[in-house]
Amino acid sequence: MRTYIADIKKMDDGDELTVKGWVQETRKIKNLMFIIVRDNTGIIQVTAKKDKLSNYDQFYDITRESVISVHGTLNKKSVSKAGMEILGTEIEILSLSDTPLPLGVIDRVSADFDTRFNNRFLDLRKPEHLIIFQFESQLLYGIREYMNRENFIEVHTPKIVGAATEGGADLFRVEYFERDAFLNQSPQLYKEILISSGFDKVFEVGPAFRAEKENTVRHLNEFTSIDMEAAFIDDRKAMEYLENAISYAVNRTVDFMGLKLQEYGYNVEKIYPPFPKITYEKALEELNKKGLKLNFGDDLSPEANKALAENFEGFYFITGWPSDMRPFYTHPDTDPKITKSFDLQLNDIEVTSGAQRMHNYKMLDENFIKKGLNKQNFEFYEKAFKYGMPPHAGWGLGLERLVMNLLKLNNVRESTLFPRDRTRLSP
Ligand code: AMO
């Protein structure tokens, strides 16, 4: 029976137990050795005395980060900092670590980015890094719970595809037998097809691939997209699902692990919908008041996003983006220059894009031509609009960007286990 270190505090003085984990540090005094053992729930001191441990000599040269199994009795009257220790009676070395370590796990000095990510397996042993992914896991659990409660069906659409989703650029090409294929940029076209299939409400959590050359703190070439699409709803309702899903997931996670997050310096506040909204045109007005010189149709630069974020706290929507700035599938508003679309921002970074989509076959058909796209590539998609397509709307939420923003990390790679970027393809 293995005991997790976090559970030891519930045990009694004198109880027998076995813990398994990594040797974080050792300190030796003649016939006595102190070993700090770490598992993914905490650390504990193991005290090993030569006269109590049959393999003491073999154990004496144990290296940092070796994996061991410790059996012993719990001493809750210990003079150690934690007030607890295990008096070891049997210690087994399960895997001896090599030396020197390419990256220290508990070193105070921080290593450079490349050293960290080249040795990500060690970098992730740091509890302050592990907790980012425990947070991500809980957050996603909350989103899934919310979507399930709202009767969304979780789906899995192909990642090897024959056509571009978001317009044509930024595709990774792959060999597909005798043909060229691409890694999908977004499940967009497939989630819309499923609306025509009568699924009514779908969501997907999966990888999305973008051959974007930008090497910024916000861009990955492979990220996790949380996508949803629903029939008979408009952009407003899609925004409501989004703010409710995020609030539910964040608040549940704060209840579950808020204190632990604080211990590691991450302060996540509870959030309450509705999130404020500003139209794109109003945002330009506000930005121009701040001295930026932006015209209708201009994208919001990182500098503009920073300036706009000063007007808000936390999450806010930018709605009504110009038609020229949105993909071909976006539904126009009554004024055809603008669309029924939105971005959700957290501080100065976009975390979600969404919109009501075109559902009228003829309108969609014309838009392919307007956007200069090769219609033939989209035949499989357009066909689904020909035989009964409900009005629909949806969004795509970048998981790594959401986590990065909620934990106030300064680089999206920090919330990615093994980031793929312009230069990194390994590990
Ligand atoms: P969009 O291209 O805006 O929209 O992507 C949606 C969300 O995905 C995340 N994201 C990224 N995260 C990390 N690195 C990247 N290179 C990257 N690119 C995008 C962002 C972004 O907000 N089909 C539409 C969604 C929809 O309308 O349903 C789409 O893909 O968080």
pLDDT higher than 70, residue 323: yes
Answer yes or no: is the C-beta of 422 below 6 A from any ligand 1 atom: no
- 164 and 69 within one domain: no
Ligand 1: does its nearest atom lie under 6 Å from the Cβ of 166? yes
**Same domain assignment for residues 47 and 194:** no
State whether 265 and 356 are in the same domain.
yes
Give a yes or no: residue 284 inside a domain: no
Closest CA to 297 of 331, 261, 323: 323
Take atom 27 of ligand 1 and give the residue whose Cα is closest.
Answer: 354
Q: Does residue 115 lie within any of the structural domains?
A: no
Q: What pLDDT digit, counting tens, does each position of 178-211 carry? A: 998 999 999 999 999 999 999 999 999 999 999 9
* 223 Cβ below 6 A of ligand 1: yes
Is 149 found in the same domain as 87?
Answer: no
Residue type, 411: N
**What confidence tens digit (pLDDT) does each residue in 240-286 have?**
999 999 999 999 999 999 999 999 999 999 999 999 999 999 999 99
Is the omega angle on the peptide bond into residue 100 within 30 degrees of 0, that is, cis?
Answer: yes
Q: Does 116 map to a domain?
A: no
The response to whether residue 190 sits with its C-beta less than 6 Å from ligand 1 reads: no
* Distance between CA atoms of residues 395 and 204, nearest Å: 11
422 assigned to some structural domain: no
Indicate whether 91 and 137 sit together in one domain.
Answer: no
Q: Is 14 left (phi over 0), alpha (psi -120 to 50) or beta?
A: left
Q: What is the pLDDT of residue 82?
A: 79
Please indicate, yes or no, if residue 107 is contained in any of the structural domains. Answer: no
Q: How far is the CA of 59 from the centre of ligand 1 (A)?
A: 52
Q: Are residues 334 and 220 in the same domain?
A: yes
Measured CA to CA, the distance from residue 19 to residue 10 in angstroms comes to 14
CB of 401 within 6 A of ligand 1: the answer is yes
Residue 120 one-letter amino acid: R
Q: How far is it, in rounded angstroms, from Cα 244 to Cα 347?
A: 18
Task: Please give the tally of structural domains in the chain.
Answer: 2
Asked if residue 182 and residue 251 are part of one domain, the reply reads: yes
Neighbours of 5 (CB within 10 A): 20
Angle, nearest 10°, between helix axes 235-263 and 127-149?
150
Top mutation candidate among 152, 195, 223, 348 for ligand 1, by most atoms within 8 Å of CB: 223
Does any domain span residue 86?
Answer: yes
CATH number reported for the structural domain that contains residue 29 in this entry: 2.40.50.140
Q: Tokens standing for 282?
A: 């109003």
Q: Is 25 in the pocket of ligand 1 (CB under 6 A)?
A: no
> Is pLDDT at 166 greater than 90 in this prediction?
no
Q: Residue 284: left if φ>0, alpha if ψ -120 to 50, beta else—which one?
A: alpha
Question: Rounded to an integer, what distance in angstroms lies between the CA atom of residue 233 and that of residue 165?
Answer: 22
Question: Do both 393 and 271 map to the same domain?
Answer: yes
Whether residue 156 is found in the same domain as residue 77: no
Q: Do 37 and 182 belong to one domain? A: no
Residue 72 lies in a domain: yes
8 Å CB contact between 361 and 192: no
Each residue of 327-368: pLDDT tens digit?
999 999 999 999 999 999 999 999 999 999 999 999 999 999
Judge if the beta carbon of residue 212 lies within 6 A of ligand 1: yes
What CA–CA distance (Å, rounded) separates 144 from 245? 9
Q: How far is the CA of 19 from the centre of ligand 1 (A)?
A: 43
The three-state secondary structure class of 95 is strand
Ligand 1 pocket, mutate which of 204, 225, 329, 405 (most atoms under 8 A from CB): 225
Residue 30's domain comprises 5-95
pLDDT of residue 30: 85
| Per-residue pLDDT at 167 exceeds 80 | no
332 occurs within a structural domain: yes
Per-residue pLDDT tens over the stretch 380-403 = 999 999 999 999 999 999 999 999
Q: What is the CATH number of the domain that holds 175?
A: 3.30.930.10
153, two tokens: 């069906």
Residues 174 and 228 in one domain: yes
Pair 182, 322 in one domain = yes
Q: How far is the CA of 35 from the centre of ligand 1 (A)?
A: 46
Average pLDDT over all residues of the chain:
95
Which residue in the block uniquely carries the two structure tokens 């909350």? 142
